[in-house]
Chains A and B, each alone.
Chain A
Amino acid sequence: MSGDLLNLTLRIWRQAGPNAKGAFRDYQLQGVSTHMSFLEMLDVLNEKLLQAGEEPVAFDHDCREGICGMCSLMINGQAHGPDKATTTCQLHMRRFKNGDTIVIEPWRASAFPVLRDLVVDRSALDRIIQSGGFVSVNTGNAPDGNAIPIPGHVQEVAMDGAACIGCGACVASCKNASAMLFVAAKVSQLSLLPQGHPERASRVIDMVAQMDKEGFGSCTNTSECEAACPAEVSVTHIARLNREYFKAMLITEK
């Protein structure tokens, strides 16, 4: 069936290295199965490039199950492509039509320098997590499950924040390249749970300071991050971060 095979034009950002000048290059790819995932389509392209003796397109990927947060890509101007709550690895080629031109760009943010082609350095997010310090958990015997009572609805909201996979789509889609949704997801879940309370005030102050130091933008409450987030982290977590910061700024010791 010809309907199951697509002929596509891929307009891909090629950049040899961090300091090299990048540019878009067009590639024609024939006979792409609609059952392929987006990354499998790129694998096919790379096979062809290798056969032709060209450099393959570098892109980030790992689990290909939508849980690791490694894949990225700005596909036709949308972080992780056109589907809601979907990572690039879970996007399928049936979403596209025969003859389509697909523009593929790396995440663009000063805090995410391009390393090569579509691969960006997202270690800024790791440094923000590190700045938040640690949560004290005793090792040894497994603690009793009900030793620390946590109301069900609180646990649910905390889990919604913990669902963040750290892919950076919020930064990529935000008009201000702000990392607020990411930082909020981390601050929020720990501020909700009793285990996170000892370092609650210092955590929000330190993480916001590190976020600014990394050169992310500021939040204008546009909610674009929430719409782009593959883990559907809500902007209410940003409000909670603001609240935590306000409190820490005015009424706590640190």
Chain B
Amino acid sequence: MFLNALTRILSLPAVGLSRIPGLGPLVRACSTSVGQKIVMAITGLSLCGFLVVHLGGNLLLYAGEEKFNAYAHALHSQGALLKVAEVGLFSLFAAHLGLAVSTGAMSRMARSQSYAMKESKQGIFALPAGGASSWMGVTGVLIGIFVITHLLDLRLKMNPLVKYPAPVAAAEGMTPELNEFEVVRTVLSSPINAVVYFIGIFALGIHLTHGLRSAFHSLGLNGRRWDSLLKCGSLLFGWVIAAGFISLIFWSFAVPR
């Protein structure tokens, strides 16, 4: 009953979209189990693209205060473009999450009575699937919690547990500006945040090891020429991204003030 109601509610955006003239047939094709997975794959891969850019920007922290602040300033002065990008990112995230819940509910309803005993012919850590694929929901929730904290910390700069550095004017008579480099360092080196960020990013790593490969699979983009490459590449991608972000937590403690 509950799951039925949940899928009804989650299908409302699709119903709304299908009312737009010309979009109906496409939205309906995207609403089947396979169609939903295709959209999930596209949104997931787009979010992977965002992660790469985000990590690239963040690694400028290693280049020093000046370079990072220049990057942050350039990014923040995009104005309307930045707003569009933020709305776009939020939509990708919301769609990915909504479809995960929707397909998850579909699967939950597909087995009303569970087994008294269930074993697998795959190893627990069968690479790349068996292990991570059973943890997509859990890691997804952890990533969600992390993203909310992260937005509160650095987008809204409203985390009550963090003592943000005061804005400083670069020269006499200029408007005081936040030193983003200092802000990031302060946020990351707050002990509670360090733990939350570590767990969130670790979960992200697990999520990506299955997610990347699974997305390609859902889009039907596989073939014997590069199947094994995709398996290894997915594992590597997940852990490289995670290692990159996690390294910044350690950096925040190590960097001299």
Chain A residues with CB under 8 Å of chain B are 24, 74, 76-78, 82, 84, 103, 105, 108-111, 173, 175-178, 205, 208-209, 211-212, 215-224, 227-228, 235-236, 238-246, 249
Please judge, given known A-B contacts A74-B115, A78-B119, A224-B120, whether A236 and B222 are in contact too, CB under 8 Å: yes
Q: Which B76-121 residues have C-beta < 8 A from chain A? A: 103, 106-121
Q: Which residues of B contact A224 (CB under 8 A)?
A: 120-122, 130
Please judge, given known A-B contacts A221-B133, A236-B227, whether A243 and B34 are in contact too, CB under 8 Å: no
Decide if A227 touches B120 in the complex (CB within 8 Å). yes
- Could you list some 9 contacts between A and B, CB below 8 A? A77-B115, A84-B121, A103-B116, A111-B110, A176-B111, A212-B106, A221-B210, A243-B221, A249-B26
Chain B residues with CB under 8 Å of chain A are 26, 29-30, 32-38, 103, 106-122, 126, 129-130, 133-134, 136, 210, 213-214, 217-222, 224, 227
CB distance from B63 to the nearest CB of A (A): 38
Please judge, given known A-B contacts A221-B133, A224-B122, whether A245 and B38 are in contact too, CB under 8 Å: yes
Please judge, given known A-B contacts A212-B32, A239-B217, A242-B220, whether A76 and B114 are in contact too, CB under 8 Å: no
Decide if B134 touches A175 in the complex (CB within 8 Å). yes
Please judge, given known A-B contacts A222-B129, A227-B120, A236-B222, whether A249 and B110 are in contact too, CB under 8 Å: no
Question: Which residue from B107, B133, B222 sits with its C-beta under 8 Å from A239?
Answer: B222
Decide if A178 touches B222 in the complex (CB within 8 Å). no
Q: Which residues of A contact B108 (CB under 8 A)?
A: 217
Question: Which residue from B103, B110, B119 sits with its C-beta under 8 Å from A215?
Answer: B110
Q: A77-B117, A219-B33, A249-B26 are in contact. List 8 more A-B contacts (CB 8 A).
A: A74-B118, A76-B119, A108-B114, A222-B134, A224-B122, A236-B227, A242-B219, A245-B220
